[in-house]
């Protein structure tokens, strides 16, 4: 696939000077009212440059149910002082922890939490971005606290000392993640004279141990870094609210005019970190997971200034194409790879890369040089063809259509994405530059193509099989690698490759929509909240709803193929997974054009069978769906592709071992609580024996023993929906037999007895971090229960983070929230840390015990704030058609059918009192409750230096003598066989049971 177009950078040169100075324009140098927006976009936009040169984009949306803001500083870790790697990132962490005006460490998070908000921040090579969202009526209050980050942060001694642990823990979390390891390996092998060579995250060693030994005061350096770089003239701000543009301006200008303009120049790096002597290199690298990949990279200049002609986009589109005649098709035909991504990426302001990333099959590893030859043959074909205007025009049309009918972005996503673009684009193009290409400049395409040569190439090959030859060690992550020069003879061979006849330009795209009108015929479902069942036969049930909310020429079609065979035993479970992999694989070439034309499609599998979803322009969805169903019904495994996908699937199961400890905790919890679940070990054993013949037989049996449930939502008439469904049913084999109602029952959840406390332990040999996950079961889902639990989670979320992460610094990952599965729910708290899980559990218990007095002491006003915040969150409307569709589809697949859930639940929520919330806590969470049902999961690290190998600080021993001990779950089958199952949640609406039409 092609990677997304990289974005341009150009100083805002044009603009409407502001009118004659009057009070509304005090503090403003320039105002822009000519920002190009999509025809369907109902929001209003205004650009400002404040008197301190801070660039601002204001967005007014009177209908929004969340307001949001983001601020970007045009500096990142490439500007870290050489002796303090990670300082920019540390500074980003510290800004959250108190300012002169708001000295309390958790003031910001506390305010956001009480008003339905969320915040985050990130540091990249040349940017640091901060963003939040909040309920609209509290935007001004949140902005006031936020603005102080950039005016007068405190960087207190105590917070600096503690927050260092969070930075260190964040780095520890990443040390075994291959994406981080490979990214740093690229940087570490760059020129040591270039800042790209730096280690950007920082850890305890770089921010405490080494500076201490050199007498460097890190807190002073933080203040100095903020003083030096946090200057308004290299900052951008985006604010979205429901107020008018004038009102937003009146709020924003006084707050952010106070940020100091220190006349800093945003750094640029026109010199490339890979000068000519660091090209023509090949690096082998050993991953943590069993991955196999090849990256072919070419250093290029920063191409963003050419956004109106998109030369990088043109080449990404062709090199990343997956249709007939593509590079990927040729590689798959030879059995060397399954997927490929091609495109430009920016390293930082001034330099970039054009890369082709290929995942490798076992055979592909043996043919790396041949794959590179094919890449150069494809590049040669592009040179011979020359830049083709029709290819560029097709892209231009597709992007312009996408811009016109773009889904509204949710507020937080919009501000976070555009605040960065505001640094790169002229103000009036900030919304459209991704999408509107207006200048055909073939010479720029030729210039970029001219850089894709063997002399410029850097090759990276990642696979476990290179463990022996990799004798070098990357200093920050300990990655084993070997870098060597590519032989001169190989460079000559690649320079003289002959044309390859199977490589050619893609054909014109047949999926470009030709009909983009809205349906106007009346339908009873238009104004209804719930979808209607418009077809119900023994083999199929179809739900339908016409859209009256988004009013775009789009639809979402989703079908579940439910069969008890899919999860009947571990072998069937594996066969279902591999079937899905092969279906996707065989459809890739045909369906890639549909994807380019705005039709997203997916085939997935779960316990209940297969699901097919198509989402996008409604015009040609049926063509794609017909093709997918044909592939399913007439499936025959290609033996060569079967072996490749089987090996992929088995590697996937094995690679789970290297996932984060908290993911293991979530998995172990599901093993304990779901009535039927195959373990990874069982799946692995069964997967080894699979054959292509077995899969053919299985697919043929499953498609004959199936119940199809579907939902069509959007710009579609009832007649068209029925036609789509009838077509699908007619494609099913004539000898297909319906399922009975009892074969369509959902899985159920294990019920822990009242007063019980169980413990499940697992080890993780890969990561140094351990994890404790505590779950307090709160029974079946029911309206009042749902909102009481959500309200408890809402009130505890911020104090939980503040106590366990900020104050106690137990680890970077601290999570608390609701867990729901199989109609049952509870409160879950997860902490991933370098401490032993038994110690973590005691700290979580202590926090939860203290929560009782926190709830008792909470003022009525604060309680009502939390209740209102949760109510507003629940009533938040989906911004995209696909999100609304999945909300409705979720009710259908859970067989509960509460289509008006937000309103129904908020009605109940608004009657919950503080006393009732306290009772809920005392019954389900309090340690003294005779009814509490608790399941603890420990994932204990046995890696070198992990919590399972050390018992520092009395993490495990020194427990209280009279402490109650949990019952350990060692035998899952024995444990489950002695417990009752929860019933299914009662349906909210009187809908006929699924499969009611099926009679023997």
Q: What is the DSSP letter of 16?
A: B
> What is the spatial distance between Cα 497 and Cα 376, in angstroms, rounded to a whole number?
7
Strands (E), 84-143: 118-123, 128-134
Which three-class secondary structure state does DSSP give residue 12?
coil
Q: Which residue's entry shows tokens 């199961």? A: 653
The values of phi and psi at residue 83, to 5°, are -85, 0
Per the CB < 8 A criterion, the answer to whether 614 and 624 are in contact is yes
Per the CB < 8 A criterion, the answer to whether 415 and 238 are in contact is yes
Q: Dihedral (C-alpha) 399, 401, 404, 407: value to the nearest 10 degrees?
A: -80
Strand 934-941 versus strand 599-606 pairing type:
unpaired
> What is the spatial distance between Cα 917 and Cα 914, in angstroms, rounded to a whole number?
5
From 167, 80, 153, 639, select the one nearest 348 (Cα to Cα): 80
From 848, 803, 499, 833, select the one nearest 660 (Cα to Cα): 833
> What is the spatial distance between Cα 601 and Cα 136, in angstroms, rounded to a whole number?
35
Q: What is the DSSP letter of 509?
A: -
Q: What is the Cα 308 distance to its own chain's centre?
A: 29
Q: Dihedral (C-alpha) 564, 565, 567, 570: value to the nearest 10 degrees?
A: 150
Residue 63 CB neighbours (<10 A)? 9
Q: Exposed e or buried b for every residue in 462-478, given b needs 16+ CB within 10 A?
A: bbeebeeebebebebbe
Q: Which residue's entry shows tokens 């974005």? A: 7
Per the CB < 8 A criterion, the answer to whether 964 and 757 are in contact is yes
Would you call 659 a catalytic residue per the annotation?
no
**Can you spell out the DSSP letters for 705-762?**
S-EEEEEEEES--HHHHHHHHHHHHHHS-TT--PPPGGGGPPP-BEEPPTT-EEEEEE
Q: Dihedral (C-alpha) 396, 398, 399, 403: value to the nearest 10 degrees?
A: 130
Q: Which residue's entry shows tokens 């609701």? A: 818
Which is catalytic among the residues 92, 163, 221, 410?
Answer: 92
> What is the spatial distance between Cα 45 and Cα 37, in angstroms, rounded to a whole number?
8
The values of phi and psi at residue 558, to 5°, are -140, 135
Taking each continuous run of H as one helix and of E as one strand, the counts in the chain are 31, 28
Q: Which two tokens stand for residue 229?
A: 């770089």
Per the CB < 8 A criterion, the answer to whether 736 and 556 are in contact is no
Q: Exposed e or buried b for every residue in 258-297, given b needs 16+ CB within 10 A?
A: ebebeebebbebeebbbeeebbbbbbbbbbbbbbbbbbbb
Strand 351-360 versus strand 770-780 pairing type:
unpaired
DSSP element (H, E) containing 632: helix 621-633
> What is the spatial distance between Cα 547 and Cα 887, in angstroms, rounded to a whole number?
14
27 torsion bin: left (phi>0), alpha (psi -120 to 50), beta (else): left
> What is the spatial distance between Cα 346 and Cα 302, in angstroms, rounded to a whole number?
7
From 585, 578, 602, 587, select the one nearest 651 (Cα to Cα): 578
Q: Which two tokens stand for residue 35?
A: 């920002």
- Sign of the torsion formed by the C-alpha atoms of 878, 917, 821 and 559: negative
Which amino acids are annotated catalytic? 92
């Amino acid at each position: 696939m092609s990677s997304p177009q990289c974005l341009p950078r150009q100083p805002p040169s044009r603009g409407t000077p502001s009118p004659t100075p009057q009070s509304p324009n005090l503090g403003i140098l320039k105002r822009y009212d000519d920002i190009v927006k999509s025809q369907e976009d109902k929001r209003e936009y205004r650009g400002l440059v404040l008197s301190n040169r801070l660039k601002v984009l204001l967005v007014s949306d009177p209908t929004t149910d969340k307001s949001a803001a983001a601020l970007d500083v045009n500096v990142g870790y490439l500007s870290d002082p050489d002796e303090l790697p990670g300082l920019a990132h540390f500074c980003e962490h510290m800004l959250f922890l108190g300012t002169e005006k708001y000295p309390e460490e958790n003031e910001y998070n506390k305010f956001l939490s009480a008003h339905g908000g969320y915040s985050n921040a990130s540091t990249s090579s040349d940017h640091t971005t901060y963003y939040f969202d909040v309920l609209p009526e509290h935007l001004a209050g949140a902005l006031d606290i936020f603005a102080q980050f950039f005016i007068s942060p405190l960087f207190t001694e105590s917070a600096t000392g503690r927050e260092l642990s969070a930075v260190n823990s964040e780095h520890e979390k990443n040390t075994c993640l291959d994406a981080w390891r490979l990214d740093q390996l690229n940087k570490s092998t760059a020129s040591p004279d270039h800042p790209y060579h730096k280690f950007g995250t920082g850890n305890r060693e770089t921010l405490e141990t080494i500076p201490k030994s050199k007498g460097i005061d890190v807190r002073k350096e933080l203040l100095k870094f903020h003083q030096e770089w946090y200057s308004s003239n290299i900052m951008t701000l985006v604010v979205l609210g429901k107020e008018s543009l004038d009102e937003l301006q009146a709020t924003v200008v006084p707050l952010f005019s106070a940020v100091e303009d220190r006349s800093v120049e945003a750094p640029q790096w026109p010199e490339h970190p890979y000068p000519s002597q660091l090209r023509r290199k090949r690096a082998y690298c050993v991953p943590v997971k069993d991955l196999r990949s090849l990256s072919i990279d070419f250093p290029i200049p920063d191409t963003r200034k050419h956004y109106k002609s998109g030369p990088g986009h043109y080449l990404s589109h062709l090199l990343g194409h997956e249709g007939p005649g593509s590079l990927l098709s040729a590689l798959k035909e030879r059995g060397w790879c399954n997927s490929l991504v091609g495109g430009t990426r920016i390293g930082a302001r001034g330099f970039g890369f054009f890369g082709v990333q290929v995942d490798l099959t076992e055979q592909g590893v043996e043919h790396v040089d041949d794959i590179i030859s094919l890449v150069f043959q494809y590049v040669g074909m592009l040179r011979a063809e020359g830049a083709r205007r029709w290819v560029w025009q097709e892209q231009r049309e597709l992007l312009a259509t996408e811009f016109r009918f773009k889904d509204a972005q949710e507020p937080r996503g919009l501000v976070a994405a555009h605040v960065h673009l505001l640094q790169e684009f002229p103000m009036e193009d900030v919304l459209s530059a991704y999408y509107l290409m207006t200048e055909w400049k073939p010479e720029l395409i030729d210039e970029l193509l001219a850089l894709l040569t063997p002399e410029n190439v850097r090759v990276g090959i990642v696979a476990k099989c290179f463990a022996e030859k990799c004798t070098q060690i990357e200093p920050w992550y300990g990655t084993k690698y070997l870098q060597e020069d590519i032989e001169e003879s190989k460079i000559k061979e690649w320079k003289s490759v002959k044309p390859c006849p199977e490589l050619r330009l893609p054909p014109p795209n047949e999926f470009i929509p030709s009909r983009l009108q809205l349906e106007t015929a009346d339908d009873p479902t238009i104004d209804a909240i719930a979808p209607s069942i418009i077809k119900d036969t023994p083999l199929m049930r179809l739900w339908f709803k016409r859209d009256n909310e988004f009013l775009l020429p789009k639809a979402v079609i989703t079908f579940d193929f439910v069969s008890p065979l899919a999860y009947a035993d571990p072998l069937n479970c594996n066969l279902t997974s591999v079937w899905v992999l092969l279906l996707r694989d065989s459809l890739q070439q045909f369906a890639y054009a549909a994807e380019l034309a705005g039709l997203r499609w997916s085939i997935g599998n779960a316990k209940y069978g297969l699901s097919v979803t198509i989402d996008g322009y409604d015009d040609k969805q049926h063509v794609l769906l017909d093709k997918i169903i044909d592939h399913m019904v007439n499936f025959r495994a290609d033996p060569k592709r079967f072996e490749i996908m089987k090996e992929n699937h088995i590697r996937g199961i094995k690679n789970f071992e290297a996932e984060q400890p908290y993911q293991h905790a979530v998995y172990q919890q599901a093993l304990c609580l779901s009535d039927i679940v195959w373990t990874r070990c069982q799946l692995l054993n069964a997967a080894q024996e699979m054959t292509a013949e077995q899969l053919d037989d299985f697919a043929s049996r499953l498609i004959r023993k199936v119940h199809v449930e579907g939902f069509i939502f959007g710009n579609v008439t009832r007649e068209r929906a029925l036609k789509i469904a009838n077509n699908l049913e007619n494609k099913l084999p004539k000898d297909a037999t319906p399922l009975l109602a009892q074969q369509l029952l959902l899985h159920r959840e294990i019920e822990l007895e009242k007063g019980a406390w169980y413990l499940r332990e697992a080890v993780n040999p890969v990561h140094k971090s351990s994890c404790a996950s505590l779950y307090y079961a709160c029974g079946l889902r029911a309206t009042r229960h749902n909102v009481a639990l959500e309200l408890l989670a809402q009130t505890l979320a911020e104090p939980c983070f503040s106590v366990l992460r900020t104050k106690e610094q137990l680890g970077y990952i601290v999570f608390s929230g609701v867990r729901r599965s199989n109609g049952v729910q509870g409160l879950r708290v997860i902490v991933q840390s370098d401490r032993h899980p038994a110690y973590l559990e005691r700290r979580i218990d202590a926090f939860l015990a203290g929560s009782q007095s926190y709830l008792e002491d909470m003022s009525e006003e604060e309680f009502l704030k939390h209740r209102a915040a949760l109510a507003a969150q629940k009533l938040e409307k989906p911004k995209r058609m696909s999100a609304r569709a999945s909300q409705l589809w979720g009710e259908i697949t859970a067989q509960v059918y509460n289509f008006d859930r937000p309103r129904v639940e908020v009605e109940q929520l608004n009657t919950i009192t503080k006393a009732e919330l306290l009772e809920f806590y005392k019954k389900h969470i309090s340690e003294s409750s005779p009814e509490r049902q608790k399941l603890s999961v420990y994932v204990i690290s046995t890696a070198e230096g992990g919590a399972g190998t050390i018992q520092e600080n009395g993490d495990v021993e020194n427990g209280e003598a009279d402490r109650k001990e949990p019952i350990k779950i060692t035998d899952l089958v024995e444990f489950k066989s002695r417990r009752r199952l929860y019933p299914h949640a009662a349906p909210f609406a009187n809908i006929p049971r699924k499969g009611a039409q099926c009679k023997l």
